Structure 1
Amino acid sequence: MKKRVKIVLFSVLGIVLILGVFAGYFYFKFKNAYDTTDKPYKNYIGYINQEKALLNDAYTLCDEGAIYHTYNGAGLNAYNGTKRQFRRNLAEDYKGDFFSDSGYLNFRFLVNCDGNPGWFEIIQMNLDLEETELDPKMVDSLFSFTALSKNWKPLEFKQEPGNYYMYVSYRIENGKVVEILP
């Protein structure tokens, strides 16, 4: 009889312990894991502060501002046409002969459900990937080109057009764009 009581007692204790571990895991997962109060990076990857961004009032976001492809952007799917067409358009619009700077010019932005870009952040770096200031006229020229709606297309999410995160990085050598990422 004592042996059965011990077995039942240990079984109940084991079940309670397992339930306690699951409860603690779910409490942490859903309560504390997403608390960014004391963390250095308070937002998700792909976040753009819409109040501080450039061209933040030109268009509106659809679907209550839901944004897709936030981890690494929409990539090659976002270009209207192909990336090759994007390069051709850049060659026609951008005249790098007037500039001598070298570095990386990165644009992080959102495109709404109609294919209109806005909410831009600009990051300027030298070829050693250190933040620096590049020629403002060159930055403005590439910003104006990147912000053209003709370069971007609407993308669908669950068979509905939606907003998405995008980035374009230009590698520039002596004023000439030598590489475009993605």
Structure 2
Amino acid sequence: MNCQTEKAVSKYPSHVGNIEFDEKLDDPNFKRCGENEYAYQYYHASESGIPYEGEKLDIIRKLEKENIASSKSVNGYITVRFVVNCEGKTGIFRMQEMDENYIEKELDKKLSDQLFTFTKSLKGWLPTEIQGKKIDYYQHLTYKIENGKVSEILP
């Protein structure tokens, strides 16, 4: 008999859509507020759209000031997904790119890096609670790219 126990490691997250902390990618100073690694999905955080000071319009204005564009005529979508903790701080960022046919593809590294950095720089995410309890939640911004420029921010 072996008296040592091994922790069972699953290749699947404990909840569908969970983003697991990765010490190579994530800021070790970012703290989740819940007892576990679970965060609610973005649609639980706000009934009126994006839970951001000034709402989506403010994000659009900030993006316009940055003048982010590609020198290439690329089309598709760049999605940045992250966690907003109960203090309104963000962390655990992940990015996915796809072409206009929703096929995963790198569009333009410089453009995607700029949008990733822009998204990480946004301050003003609103903390939220459910049934009187402060929660962490997932949020995402999807940038629709047409001819190398952001034409729309989703959701």
Fold similarity call, TM over 0.5: yes
Greater radius of gyration (CA): 1
Q: Which deviations, in whole Å up to 9, do the C-alpha atoms of 1:24-55 show, x marking residues without a partner?
A: xxxxxxxxxxxxxxxx9654233112227843
Alignment of 1:32-181 (within 5 A): 43-51=14-22, 54-65=25-36, 67-70=38-41, 74=45, 76-96=49-69, 98-181=71-154
Could you say which structure has the greater relative contact order, defined with CA pairs below 8 angstroms and 6 or more residues apart? 2
Alignment-derived partner of residue 5 in structure 2: none
* Runs of 5+ consecutive residues of structure 1 not aligned to the other structure: 1-39
Kindly tell me the number of residue pairs found equivalent between the two proteins. 145
Specify the code of the residue in structure 2 equivalent to 1:100. Answer: S
Question: Which consecutive segments of 4 or more residues in structure 1 shift more than 6 A?
Answer: none
* Runs of 5+ consecutive residues of structure 2 not aligned to the other structure: 1-10
Specify the code of the residue in structure 2 equivalent to 1:47. Answer: N
Alignment-derived partner of residue 3 in structure 2: none
> Deviation at 1:67?
3.8
Give TM-score scaled by structure 1 length.
Answer: 0.67
Give TM-score scaled by structure 2 length.
Answer: 0.77
**Identity %, equivalent residues:** 36
